[in-house]
Amino acid sequence: MLKVRKSEERGIANLGWLDSKHTFSFGHYHDPAHMGVGPLRVINEDRVHAGRGFDAHGHRDMEIISYVLDGALEHKDSMGNGSVLRYGDVQRMSAGKGVVHSEFNGSKTDPVHFLQIWIQPNQVGAPSGYEEKHFDRESKLGRLRLVASSDGREGSVTIRQDAALYAGILNGGDEVSFPLQAGRIGYLHVAQGALSVNGIALKAGDAVRVDDEASIVLNGADNAEVLLFDLPH
């Protein structure tokens, strides 16, 4: 069974300096039909104007992943971490028992475009933590590259949840098949470009939930970059 979430159906937040689209309920956008999928609670597509950003604010008990698509994302937090993330960088911040952080556009001239992802952890009150890794374009070409997992396998960042996140770049004749295990949920978000998922055409910003299918087949791509979540119910 496939359930499509179209880009234009997402919630919108436009603060002048921020253009954000919310796949699931977030902030002032509330839709009881779209509260998340399994432990996946947030996919926000954020575009932040040059020199602007999110001032210091706190989080608890959430695995927060940033996936940069274009530009420079400057991060600072109360754990003493500070860095500038660019395309190919994946950042994981485990809020745990509490952390304060800020996220700013690291450029004074160009916007930054990134995906902010929240996953509920399978334990609460754990120590806060931070990790970032770079996954170059070549490692994602024509395949699904594991970028986040519960055990950090294959060089992925580690999250406190029985979930996995894959990133892939597909084009032209590329075809990828991902086996979906019984009792698991697949959730695919199209970050850029267009492709077909099990015969359904999707474009940038679209997403699809996949249940009770033997596999997730990706093909017919036109410069597509995708994120695929393998999730527990």
Domains of the chain with CATH codes = 2-232 (2.60.120.10)
pLDDT tens series, the chain, 233 aa: 999 999 999 999 999 999 999 999 999 999 999 999 999 999 999 999 999 999 999 999 999 999 999 999 999 999 999 999 999 999 999 999 999 999 999 999 999 999 999 999 999 999 999 999 999 999 999 999 999 999 999 999 999 999 999 999 999 999 999 999 999 999 999 999 999 999 999 999 999 999 999 999 999 999 999 999 999 99
The answer to whether 103 and 20 are in contact (CB under 8 A) is: no
* Nearest by Cα to 38 from 51, 24, 57: 24
Q: Left if phi > 0, otherwise alpha if psi is -120 to 50, otherwise beta: which for 15?
A: alpha
Query: What's the whole-model pTM score?
Result: 0.97
Query: Distance from CA of residue 28 to its chain's centroid?
Result: 20
Give 9's contacts (C-beta < 8 A, 6+ positions apart). none
